[in-house]
Amino acid sequence: MAAVTAPKQDRSRATRQRLLEAAVACLAEHGWAGSTVAVVAERAGVSRGAAQHHFPTREDLFTAAVEYVAEERSNALRALPSRDRHEAVAALVDLFTGPLFRAALHLWVAASGEDQLRARVTELEARVGRESHRVAVDVLGADESRPGVRETVQGLLDMARGLGLATLLTDDRARRERVVSQWSRLLDEALWDGRSERS
C-alpha cells in the first residue's frame, strides 16, 4: 500500500510545485490582474480542476505563492557564501532585481487593495524581512552589538529594494554597479570593528 501511495504523493507534490512556480512566473510577467487560476493552471500544464484541488480559491493560490517566494528568497539568502564585502553586497542586491522580487512586488501592490491578501502578505513579508536581515548580518560579518550596525545593514537592504524597484523600469547595470561599489566602501568603514589596528 505504501508503494502505491508514495508515487501518488510525489505526483501531488510535483503538481503543487509546478503551480507555485507558474503562479510566481505569471505574477512576475503579467501582474495581479493578468494572473488568474486558469492562466496559472495552463502555464503549469494542469487542469483548472487540479489547480483548484490544491488551491480552492485565487487567494489561496497566490497566498501560497507569496510563501513560496518568501521561502525561495530565504533559501537564496542562506546560500550566499561568505565572501569579500563587495561580492556580498552585490549578491544581496541581486536578490532584489530578479523575477522573485518582481512577483513579490505585484503581490504587495495587490494586497494593498485586497483585504483577504493584506494580512497574509504583511505577515509573510515581515518574516522574510527578518530572515533577510539575519542572513545579511552573517554574510557581511556584521557585529550588531555595536551601535549603528543594525541600522546600517537595514539601510543596505532598503537600498537594495530601491534598486530592485528601479530595475522594473530600466536595467541600468552600470549605475547599479557604481552604487554597489559605494555601499561596499561605506560598509567597510561602518562595519570595521577595529580588530586590525592601523599602523
For helices 85-94 and 173-191, what crossing angle results, to 10°?
130
> What's 31's DSSP letter?
T
Number of H helices, E strands in the chain: 9, 0
Helix axis angle, 173-191 relative to 149-167, nearest 10°?
180
pTM of the predicted model, to two decimals?
0.73
Q: Which of 177, 185, 186 is nearest to 152 (CA)?
A: 186
Provide the pLDDT for residue 107: 84
Q: Which three cell numbers stand for residue 169?
A: 523600469
Return the C-alpha cell found at 47. 487542469
- CA 97: distance to chain centroid? 10
Residue where the block lists cell 501582474: 31
Angle made by CA atoms 177, 107, 111, in degrees to the nearest 5? 130
Query: What φ, ψ does residue 23 adopt, rounded to 5°?
Result: -65, -45
Element (H, E) at 47: none
Per-residue pLDDT of the chain (199 residues; tens, 9 = 90+): 445 555 778 888 899 999 999 998 898 888 888 999 999 999 999 999 999 999 998 888 987 887 787 777 777 777 766 667 888 888 888 888 877 788 888 888 888 888 878 888 888 788 878 888 988 888 888 899 999 999 999 999 999 999 888 887 887 888 889 999 998 998 888 887 544 333 3
What gap in Å lies between CA 23 and CA 64, rounded to an integer? Answer: 9
The owner of cell 508503494 is: 3
